[in-house]
A and B are shown apart, each in its own frame.
Chain A
Amino acid sequence: MSICDVRTARSLEEALVLTAEGWLPLAGGTDLVPRMKHGLLTGARVVIVRGLKELHGVHTTDTGLVVGACTTIADLCRSSACPPWLGGACAQIAGPRVRELATVGGALLQERRCRYYNRPVLWRTASGACLRTGGDRCLAGGDRCCATQRSLLSTVLVAVSASVVISRGAEERSVLLEDLYGPEAGAWRAGGIIRSVSISRMAEAEGKVAVEWIRRRASIDYHDLVVAGASRAGSPHEVSVTVGAAVPYPRRIVLPSPAPGGAIRSAATLIPSAQSGRLSPAYLRHAAVVLAGRVIARVAP
């Protein structure tokens, strides 16, 4: 696998020191290990964090739900504190065996995927290098890398304005997940350790979150497109649509009331014009509008 070094962190402090030096945290390994096998992390150093107690657990607090970053998706589903809309969405991720390993933090920071990138060495050698592997062009046809984070959980959590507590070296901050995916937070995404995810109470009202997706198979396959709709329990006129899986990172659009039509159509414009997955941008844009209409119909007052 061409990995230089693997260590198991004995404490969060040790993990933070190592990640500040460029070590990659490994939680469930369902995203990282396949990339190692594909020779995409040659020379990387890896610190295993999944055993750290501080990063586990699902608790309800006065303000909402707090989930430790190393909680597996299966444990989150099983937790009595997990609201049905979240449990239902998590049950759609991968398949049962992956969910037993995959963690919430790993789901939020899993690598952006691309049909030219997530491939074994021989295939990539035959197809040629792209911008991300040392080449000078994007094989998907983009003017920059348009690989997409195919994460249902990220999309749903951005939709409900979840925030994460993230540490980087000695620093710690709480940021909106949506902002963690923004251009300014790149260093935090690369060098930080997510400790927990917080979902405020507003999102817990059943029926105010709706998720629709496109996926080839009903299990295992990464989602091609996820569209989540959410409305605030306290202020029913604030309705948002979040598009994920077909975009580099999930993006949320707050819909103007009372005429959200144009904004629904703008969901399509989030989809990159280069094709890094199995479906064409044209189809994904069409589908994004269809799904946005459907989720809005379910959450709008």
Chain B
Amino acid sequence: MSSPPPPWPWTDPYVADLSLPGMVFAAMARSTHAHAALRSIDLAPALATPGVLAAVDGRAFPLMGGVIHSSRDEPVLAVDRVRYVGEPLAAVAAVSPEAAKAGAASVAAAFDPLPPVLTMRSVGLDVPLHEEHPDNVLRDVALEFGPVDESFASARAVFAGTYHYGASTHAALEPHGVVAWWRPEGRLWVWTSTQCPHLVQHGVARLMGLEPSAVRVITPRVGGGFGGKSEVFSHEVVAARLSMLLGRPVRLILSREEVFYTHRGRHEALIDLRLAVGAHDEILGLDADIILNGGAYAGMGLVTTYYAGQFLGIPYRVGAFRFRSRRVFTNAPPAGPKRGHGSVQIRFAVERLLDRAALSLGLNPLAWRMSLALKSDETTLNGLKIGSSGFTRCLEEIARMTAPLQCGEGEAIGVAGSAYISGAAFPIIPNRLPHSQAILRADRSGLFVLTVGVAEIGQGALETLRTLVAQTLGQPTDRVLAVAGDTDACPVDLGSYSSRVTLMAGNAVIAAAAAVRRQLLEAAGDRLAVAPESLDLVPNRVVVREDPGGKGMSLTRAIARAEERIGTVIGSGSYAPAVEPGPYPGGALGPSPAFSFTAAAAKVRFDPDLGAVEVTDIWIAHDCGRAVNLARVNAQLHGCALMGLGEALMEQAGLHRGIMDPVGMLDYGVPTARDLPRIHAVVVSAADPAGPLGAKEAGEGPLLPVVPAIANAVARAAGLDICAIPLSSEDLVRPSARETPLSGEAALR
């Protein structure tokens, strides 16, 4: 077999391609008010619309949605209040998508407008969105590690800045969508574009008043997620309810506009940061006050609130640090996890301030970062166990690649560094169960069928897991098939988020593969009268390790012999991180089995007359542990460069006069092929003992330093202090942007 095996039949189409006998179509009615009491809602006009078969409103869903137990505040459909423009109000099922839309458009709702909270800057002063949070703050977290005040008092230099990071969204090409089918036998099947099929299974079951065993979630082909498909959404639950009412499959695909209202994108952040530098140029202290714009509901915001502070210091050694992190409610679509969750905003602030400090102190920004780098096996002040660190090597690679370069008039190079988790060590719902599980069956045909609960969302996770199985069994990857993303067929996996799949599902599949390998070698050893330990698996054969040309047998025979001995040849594996939480409240949010490291540089050309920025080159050196699949890792590095470029220069998704803006792909500026700079990606392998064959992560970490590297380059090229993302030509050209002139020599120029 030379080409990869075809995908599992159920996972072939996207959800919008699914068509089932008797299927009907659903559409949602949404709020046109940013903040209002919902006085009444009348479904009668919708039900009278030709072709409409059923309609539901918030009264059909007595329970509140939300990922985290302690902050379930989001109704499936608005009940007595609407909190953002675009919030789901009602849903209608009809014989055609057009009839469903017409029905949804005729839902009559009456509102009493309330003053909207449009900015997070007036935290504590506005009308509360939720009665439980009179100050509009979801969570106010303050943690301190080490003697912060003393470190600032004894510093040789203190730097301070206020940084603003604009909200952005995921812009996955495939919009969210679902087909739900309440089946005659009393079970609900849900095909949905999600990163977390098991989370959706439990969430939909809870909100529908069903047992999880009554719900089967299937993930068809998913056209990207980037964090935006890792919650249980209204459309999934209402499609299920409508299907239950009608006894027919219901398809509900969000329009692009609705995807923008669904959001869960990067939190807008306002960060006051202070940095204390010691006599030997060490970081004595960091002190951050972080405000996050969470939008109308909690979602995963609790995690974001902690991550923003917990990752303040890494990838550097820091003498002491403290942070206060608050996530504020506003009348905007809820923010949530986006690639590099919680960490991208704070990285921008820290790397900008470090760069300003380097200029002011006359330090080479790269060499300084090298001197500050966390090394393997260090533990941070807040208890993050680093495992392997290839950060210094990443910085060396950046130095090697950028050293020969000359910068012309208006050009400069900026650098930045970062570290990121390879999966969260603790699940959102506290328990001691495995995070990932895998089942591997050897088939008489010589194929291996791997069953895992992860969702393939276009990132190539299944190819990587198949590769890990193949390497453990000494077989080519195309001998391994993967069945995934079906909660009936697959064991539980927490999902494709938090850069956890390679490490966590990877460890589980290796354990399963090792069990199958043992069974095969024992069966072959028995037949060949050789100790199993002296045998090895090579492509299509079992051989004696010391004499591969001698005694042996074909792989298919070995599988058959094993079946004779033990029946079905099957191995299972599971993984739960062996990591302790930090000994303080919130100490479970931050730890990870392993950390990836990245260094990046960007070269820009700046046009001072127009304030225009052109990024000509991006260099990324990323320590992903061992690269199980080099092509996939490289693809992630390129993708991160592209997304970082977009966030730095083009993309923004926030409120304009109380409404999400933009709400379409033409206005939301994902970089095009013509915007791409030259991307130079290098993989650094600091294999980690916690990772499968030493692997860590590559999906999110490489994004983190790209934005500050671009900002640092622009700061140097323009001679300006860059304090806000995305960069805007208007700010860069206006004299007011020049209020904080930079001094000192640009070390990399």
Contacts and interface: CB of A to CB of B under 8 A. Distances in A.
Q: Do A and B associate with each other?
A: yes
Interface string A258-300: 0000000000000000000011101100110010000000000
A123 B659 contact: yes
A115 B657 CA distance: 12
Contact of B730 (A95, A217, A220, A280): A280
Contact of A220 (B30, B663, B672): B672
B254 to A, nearest CB: 12
Contacts of A290: 609-610
A4 B673 CA distance: 39
B672 A122 contact: no
Given A122-B85, A283-B733, A286-B733, 11 more contacts: A123-B257, A126-B32, A126-B33, A126-B34, A126-B659, A127-B657, A217-B669, A218-B675, A220-B672, A221-B669, A222-B666
Interface of B (DSSP majority class): loop
Contacts of B663: 119-120, 123
Contacts of A95: 672
21 contacts: A119-B663, A119-B664, A121-B105, A122-B32, A122-B85, A122-B86, A123-B663, A125-B32, A127-B659, A217-B672, A218-B674, A219-B672, A219-B673, A219-B674, A220-B666, A279-B730, A280-B730, A282-B730, A283-B730, A283-B734, A290-B609
Given A123-B659, A126-B659, A287 B610 contact: yes
Interface residues of A, number: 26
A214 interface: yes
Contacts of A283: 729-730, 733-734
A123 B610 CA distance: 32
A53 interface: no
B650 A217 contact: yes
Contacts, number: 66
Contacts of B661: 115
Contacts of B34: 126
Interface string B602-629: 0000000110100000000000000000
A95 B673 CA distance: 10
A4 to B, nearest CB: 15
A286 B658 CA distance: 29
Contacts of B223: none
Interface string A200-222: 00000000000000101111111
B272 to A, nearest CB: 27
Contacts of B434: none
Contacts of B673: 219
A77 B65 CA distance: 54
A122 B87 CA distance: 11
B643 to A, nearest CB: 14
B671 interface: yes
Interface string B658-694: 1111011011010111110000000000000000000
Interface of B: 30, 32-34, 85-86, 105, 255, 257, 609-610, 612, 650, 656-661, 663-664, 666-667, 669, 671-675, 729-730, 733-734
Contacts of A122: 30, 32, 85-86, 257
Residue of B105, B658, B659, B660 most packed against chain A (CB within 10 A)? B659
A281 to B, nearest CB: 11
Interface in A97-149: 115, 119-123, 125-127
A217 B675 contact: yes
A221 B32 contact: no
Contacts of B257: 120, 122-123
Contact of B674 (A120, A217, A278, A279): A217
A278 B656 CA distance: 11
A115 B612 CA distance: 22
A99 to B, nearest CB: 13
A222 B673 CA distance: 16
Contacts of A216: 650, 669
A279 B729 CA distance: 9
A221 B669 CA distance: 8
Contacts of A119: 663-664
A176 B727 CA distance: 41
Contacts of A218: 672, 674-675
Nearest to B255: A120
A124 B33 CA distance: 12
A214 B672 contact: no
A221 B675 CA distance: 11
Nearest to B676: A218
A278 B662 CA distance: 11
A279 B733 CA distance: 13
A121 B258 CA distance: 12
Nearest to A34: B666
Residue of B610, B650, B663, B666 most packed against chain A (CB within 10 A)? B610
Given A120-B663, A287-B610, A290-B609, A219 B675 contact: yes
Nearest to A127: B659
Contacts of A222: 666
A126 B84 CA distance: 10
Contacts of A127: 657, 659
Nearest to A291: B610
Contacts of A221: 666, 669
A287 B673 CA distance: 26
B649 to A, nearest CB: 8
A120 B257 CA distance: 8
A222 B664 CA distance: 14
Nearest to B33: A126
A123 B659 CA distance: 7
Interface in A52-97: 95
B452 to A, nearest CB: 37
Nearest to A1: B98
Contacts of A287: 610
Nearest to A120: B257
A121 B675 CA distance: 31
Contacts of B658: 126
Interface string A216-230: 111111100000000
B672 A120 contact: no
Nearest to B670: A217
Contacts of B734: 283
A12 to B, nearest CB: 32
A74 to B, nearest CB: 16
A286 B656 CA distance: 24
A48 B394 CA distance: 58
A218 B649 CA distance: 12
A101 B490 CA distance: 46
Contacts of A282: 730
Contacts of A121: 105
Contacts of B672: 95, 217-220
A60 B610 CA distance: 38
Contact of B610 (A126, A214, A219): A214
A121 B27 CA distance: 15
Contact of B85 (A126, A219, A279, A286): A126
Contacts of A125: 32
